[in-house]
Amino acid sequence: MKSYLALIKVDLKLAFRDKAVIFFNYLFPLIFFFVFAGLMKAERGGAISYVVSLVLVMGILGNGLFGAGIRAVQERETNILRRFKVAPISPAPLLVASLVSGWVIYIPIVLLILGLAHFIYGMAVPGRPFAFFSLISIGVLAFRALGLILASVANSMQGSQVLIQLFYMPMLFLSGATFPITLLPEWAQLISQFMPASYLVTGFQGIFFRNEPFTANASPLLALLATLLLGTFLSVQLFRWEKDEKIRPSARLWVLVVLLPFIVLGSYQAYSREHLRKARLLMRDLERSGTFLIRGARIFVGDGRVIESGGVLVKKGRIEEVFESEIPPAETLKATVIEGSGKTLLPGLIDMHVHLGAPAGFYESEKDYAPEKIMLRALAAQLYSGVTTVKSVGDGLDDSLKLRASVAIGERVGAALFTCGPMFTAEGGHGTEFFEGMPEAMKRLALQQWVRLPKSPDEARQQVRELKAAGVDGIKGILEAGLAGQLFNRLDVRFLQAAADEARVQKLPVVLHTGNSQDIADALLAGTNGIEHGSTRDRIPDELLAQMAKTRVSYDPTLCVVEAFSKLGTHPDELLSRSLVQQVVPAKLLENTRKALQSDKMATLLARLKPFGAGLEQAKENLKRAYQAGVPLVAGSDAGNLLVFHGPSLHRELQLWVSAGISPATALQAATRNAARLLGADHRIGSIQKGGDADLLLVDGNPLEDITATERISQIIYKGERINRSRLFDQE
């Protein structure tokens, strides 16, 4: 042990006398730290954590490959090792001393970088110090072991430099240490999975951005540890004291043995793509961590208040502050500025009634109807249109929950999803007609995902409990019995009441689909939280509206689906040609829908749907009377139905409300604060409030005077990320 300690002491003395060691271990990382921090505006949000990750990894690469590798060859070339040979001493203490001294040399710059990042740029101290220093230590030692094995198989200084550069340069540029992995071409992303440095990059970022524990990086740490042990062992075996001792070129293959743990890990990752998925999530965290100030805009708060010229400070995905009068200079807030003069800032819109699994038109090929593709496209279209949250009221359970989770963690980018899960209806009730004609086995599976058909109150309660356990956000039931020519069986109100009672126990909101006043009366009797569609067929009695107002039951009229059905066969181009529709709907879907609506094959379907659009004026009247009675209003589009396209349709819904006599402010509140309240999420979305999620829509003009201004989108901010709308559809 004394010989080990003595050699470590000597190694440290020699290192600190070497100006090159001082420069490359301390000054060089500091230069990169301040350059990257300046380029990335690190004082404005979480970019500093990203900068620190890059600088630390670059330092580990230099410390290991050059600090250990080049120096070992230098000592052999200048006959320093030859002097140790006559001591006598074995190679092991020399190599262990090199490993330990490199770690001791590197730790001060780590502490210095963390200190500068904290005190100058406001980066939080790592919340998992054990995980952080474990990754630092094993990373440094593993790369020094790699440097030593490269020195062992090189016969000259020139050869070692070439060999080390062959490892250093790819790891510098293809591991994420310089450019984010997510920006690399597909082939480069694949190569990065075999590089140890790429796991250091994501490891540090995971600790900084997500406070990941030691176990989150267990596989890379084990691979680094294996590289450390293999590299040290083989370096001892291949050790040469003098420069005249040559080694066969084939010995360079031992380097592959040292890298074998990452060849195995990279092969698995190339198959599973888990690491690339993590890299994408971390990049999303970075994009959502910025600090910016929207100033000079008219602010529609969401609860009815309007700030004529104010500011909103966004930091790390949250609304940090709302300024109603004097706005501090952006420099003091360390924020990027978004100028809002002449614009209106709104909470992100919320569509309370969508069907993500339906594209609202017709494709030619069945493969284009793949649920995962259709649903993701729908959420992307919603977000493109400034709708930051939607509630699904009739989609496949498993597909909905899977997509909701993917969007929630940032793996996919689209509107946040709340899901009611399968619809409660009767055998042969509305909602089951879509599965007629399917083979029996396929039909059974589809019904299991899309509907619940209780046969008793007890079964209805049990089904609600099962859906709660599955993770749904609410319950939807159907009372709609259809029209002459297309009648449906109607679910027993007692079953719905049992489901609603259990939903209250499970703290799940309930909404019920209605078609006329009798349905509304039964829905209120069952104990609903919201009425979907209301009535297009008769005038809702005053006493029902009064009851809704008293019990705070929300009303969602979905006017635009009624309008869409009213235009089938007559003026469908009015809805197909709208600017926002053409921006978000695939061209082939629009083209094929136009053709389909003109074909003879569609005559039966159009005739069946046409009567459902006959009551638009009645629906408008009921909406206005509900507002006058004090009924809480929420806005939903019923997107997914024919010609009711995801995203643009909510804007059209608001326009129809205004044409019905509802003020723009009331319509906007229905699509923001009121909707969030029904979702049980008004503490974080639906209004521009301090501490809330930074889901914001900046539009040109004043939608409080001209409701069509909501379509003139200037900027969408979602969870603090300034959305690049043109890239939303690249996820397919």
CATH number at residue 439: 3.20.20.140
Residue 152 has pLDDT above 90, yes or no: no
Share of the chain above pLDDT 70, in %: 96
Tokens describing residue 202: 């994501």
Residue 613 has pLDDT above 80, yes or no: no
Which runs of E-coded beta strand occur in 90-196? none
Q: DSSP 3-state assignment of 63?
A: helix
The whole-number pLDDT of residue 3 equals 67
Tell me which residue has tokens 């071409």.
185
Residue 103 has pLDDT above 90, yes or no: yes
Establish if 329 belongs to a structural domain: no
Give the DSSP per-residue string, 529-565.
SEEES--SSSPPPHHHHHHHHHHT-EEE--HHHHHHH
Q: pLDDT band at 83, cuts 50/70/90?
A: confident
Give the closest residue to 309 by CA, choosing from 290, 288, 326, 292. Answer: 326
The whole-number pLDDT of residue 304 equals 87
**Cβ-count burial of 117 within 10 angstroms (0-12 exposed, 13-18 middle, 19+ buried)?**
buried
Please count the structural domains in the chain: 2
Establish if 518 belongs to a structural domain: yes
The whole-number pLDDT of residue 732 equals 59
Give the closest residue to 387 by CA, choosing from 580, 244, 209, 228. Answer: 580
Residue 522 has pLDDT above 80, yes or no: yes
Segment 155-207, tens digit of pLDDT: 888 888 888 899 999 999 999 988 899 889 999 999 999 999 999 999 999 99
CA distance linking residue 510 with residue 414, whole number of Å: 25
Q: How far is CA 107 from CA 16, 93, 439, 664, in A?
A: 14, 21, 66, 60
Q: pLDDT band at 466, cuts 50/70/90?
A: very high
Establish if 647 belongs to a structural domain: no
Q: How far is CA 480 from CA 217, 422, 503, in A?
A: 53, 16, 20
Last residue in a domain, options 496, 514, 548:
548
Please, what is the average pLDDT of the chain? 91
The whole-number pLDDT of residue 86 equals 65
Over residues 654-658, mean pLDDT? 98
Segment 41-82, tens digit of pLDDT: 888 878 999 999 999 999 999 989 888 888 888 878 887 777
Render the burial of 71-87: b for 16+ CB within 10 Å, e for the rest. Answer: bbbebbeeeebeebeee
Residue 534 has pLDDT above 90, yes or no: yes
Segment 232-266, tens digit of pLDDT: 999 988 888 887 788 887 777 888 899 999 999 99
Residue range of the domain that includes 458? 422-471+475-548
CB-based contacts of 456, cutoff 8 Å, min separation 6? 495
Residue 593 has pLDDT above 80, yes or no: yes
Considering the entire predicted model, what is its pTM? Answer: 0.90
Omega before 88 cis (within 30°)? yes
Share of the chain above pLDDT 90, in %: 70
Segment 396-429, tens digit of pLDDT: 999 999 999 999 999 999 999 999 989 999 999 8
Establish if 360 belongs to a structural domain: no
Residue 49 near residue 129, CB atoms below 8 Å: no
Tokens describing residue 636: 């939903």
Last residue in a domain, options 250, 269, 286:
286
Over residues 376-380, mean pLDDT? 96
Tokens describing residue 498: 């049992």
Establish if 561 belongs to a structural domain: no
Last residue in a domain, options 221, 254, 286:
286
Establish if 151 belongs to a structural domain: yes
- Of 282-296, 457-471, 472-486, 705-719, least confident by mean pLDDT is 472-486
Mark out the alpha helices in 211-289 (DSSP H runs).
218-237, 254-258, 260-272, 274-287
Over residues 628-641, mean pLDDT? 97
Establish if 296 belongs to a structural domain: no
Tokens describing residue 324: 């109603």
Q: How far is CA 16 from CA 13, 28, 61, 72, 396, in A?
A: 5, 15, 19, 16, 65
Segment 475-496, tens digit of pLDDT: 999 998 877 567 889 999 999 9
Establish if 333 belongs to a structural domain: no
CB-based contacts of 442, cutoff 8 Å, min separation 6? none
Q: pLDDT band at 581, cuts 50/70/90?
A: very high
CA distance linking residue 650 with residue 644, whole number of Å: 9
Q: 584 or 94: which carries more pLDDT confidence?
A: 584
End-to-end CA distance of the chain: give it in Å, rounded: 60
CA distance linking residue 70 with residue 506, whole number of Å: 66
- Of 86-100, 304-318, 394-408, 508-522, least confident by mean pLDDT is 86-100
